């Protein structure tokens, strides 16, 4: 019986594991098949054509065979369009990779989310001053796409429309709830409604980016709490690595890296 073959699938490498002395297993996010595992045979050899291609945050076209849990990579080449993010943007992209690794099941297609991820990676590579906005916009769209974000136009417990002038807070266990006085992460109903409207746009990434700009700092903690709650971890590995680097370099911080500006970003993530 002939093996199934899939060709020229848009994809990004999220993570990789050692498979043998010369091979790797890749966790790959594809547009039509979701997150899948591929074994790249011989990729560690100096002469392998895959070595300069199979890097994170590069838009690829990949081909593979098989329908088992781990398929066999047959071809991969750079899709073009933008270069791989570098420096601070690479740290941010590593955080997005970890979100996908932790929150997406294998073989569960998310075509719209793949398009959002492509846009996010491109913006990280091109807009060095917009990284926080890109992260918050992608977090919102990711949570919405996988069904973990409550309706931002309603108070969750009462299922009533938000009062634009009243302040609400996003709670992981119960959704949007009226805020108590002094809650720095609370936003007015008007702001939550703007975010919901932006995400409902047919091409939502840029509208969501703009909506986040009006409430950037207030969004960071409730979205982090929601992501931790649904991923089952207290701290993302990229966040912990950033804290470790911050501690080691406190007297001479790396130039151009602001730990507060990129709260959950660092290098390629470890296995979850």
> Is the pLDDT assigned to residue 165 strictly greater than 90?
yes
Q: 3.30.420.40, 3.40.470.10, 1.20.1440.120, 3.40.50.2300: which CATH number matches 88-248?
A: 1.20.1440.120
Q: Look at residue 246 and tell me whether its pLDDT is greater than 70.
A: no
Q: Which of 50-64, 100-114, 253-267 has the lowest mean pLDDT?
A: 253-267
Name the residue among 24, 20, 12, 9 with its Cα closest to residue 271. 24
Average pLDDT over residues 150-161: 92
CATH topology match: 5-78 vs 88-248? no
209 pLDDT higher than 70: yes
User: How sure is the predictor about 89, in pLDDT bands with cuts at 50, 70 and 90?
Assistant: confident
Report, as an integer, the average pLDDT of 52-63.
Answer: 94
Question: Does the pLDDT value for residue 9 go beyond 70?
Answer: yes
Do the beta carbons of residue 31 and residue 9 sit within 8 Å?
Answer: yes
| Per-residue pLDDT at 271 | 29
**pLDDT of the residue at 243:** 67
Is 3.10.20.340 the CATH number for 5-78? no
The interaxial angle of helices 131-145 and 88-103, nearest 10 deg, is 10
In the chain, pLDDT over 70 holds for what percent of residues?
88
Query: Rounded mean pLDDT of the chain?
Result: 87
Q: In this model, does residue 59 exceed pLDDT 90?
A: yes
Q: How far apart are CA 135 and CA 143, in angstroms?
A: 12
Q: How confident is the model at residue 158 (pLDDT cuts 50, 70, 90)?
A: confident
Whole-number pLDDT of residue 265: 33
Which long-range CB contacts under 8 A does 163-172 form with residues at least 24 apart? Answer: 163/189, 164/188, 164/189, 164/190, 164/193, 165/189, 165/190, 168/192, 169/222, 170/222, 170/223, 170/225, 170/226, 171/222, 172/225, 172/226, 172/228, 172/229, 172/230
Question: CB of 261 within 8 A of CB of 135?
Answer: no
Indicate the domain borders of the chain: 5-78, 88-248
More confident residue, 59 or 240: 59
Q: How confident is the model at residue 197 (pLDDT cuts 50, 70, 90)?
A: very high
The per-residue pLDDT for range 171-191, each reduced to its tens digit, is 998 899 999 887 888 999 999
Bridge partners of 25, per DSSP, are 17, 39
Least confident among 87-101, 151-165, 241-255 = 241-255
């Amino acid at each position: 019986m002939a093996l199934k073959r899939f060709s020229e699938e848009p994809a990004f490498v999220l993570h990789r594991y050692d498979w043998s002395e010369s091979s790797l297993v890749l966790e790959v996010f594809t547009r039509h098949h979701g997150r899948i595992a591929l074994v790249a045979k011989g990729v560690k050899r100096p002469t392998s054509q895959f070595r300069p291609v199979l890097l994170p945050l590069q838009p690829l076209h990949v081909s593979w065979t098989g329908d088992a849990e781990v398929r066999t990579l047959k071809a991969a080449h750079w899709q073009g369009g933008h270069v791989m993010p570098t420096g601070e943007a690479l740290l941010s992209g590593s955080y997005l990779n970890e979100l996908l690794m932790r929150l997406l099941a294998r073989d569960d297609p998310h075509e719209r989310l793949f398009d959002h991820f492509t846009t996010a990676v491109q913006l990280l590579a091109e807009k060095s001053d917009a990284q926080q906005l890109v992260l918050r916009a992608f977090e919102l769209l990711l949570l919405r796409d996988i069904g973990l974000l409550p309706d931002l136009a309603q108070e969750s417990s009462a299922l009533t429309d938000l009062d634009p002038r009243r302040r609400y807070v996003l709670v992981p266990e119960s959704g949007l709830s009226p805020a108590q006085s002094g809650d720095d992460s609370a936003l007015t109903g008007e702001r939550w409604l703007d975010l919901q409207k932006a995400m409902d746009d047919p091409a939502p990434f840029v509208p969501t980016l703009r909506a986040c700009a009006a409430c950037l700092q207030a969004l960071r903690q409730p979205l982090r709490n929601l992501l931790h709650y649904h991923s089952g971890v207290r701290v993302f590995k990229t966040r912990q690595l950033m804290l470790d680097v911050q501690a080691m370099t406190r007297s001479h911080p790396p130039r151009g890296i602001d730990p507060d500006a990129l709260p959950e970003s660092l290098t390629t993530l470890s296995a979850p």
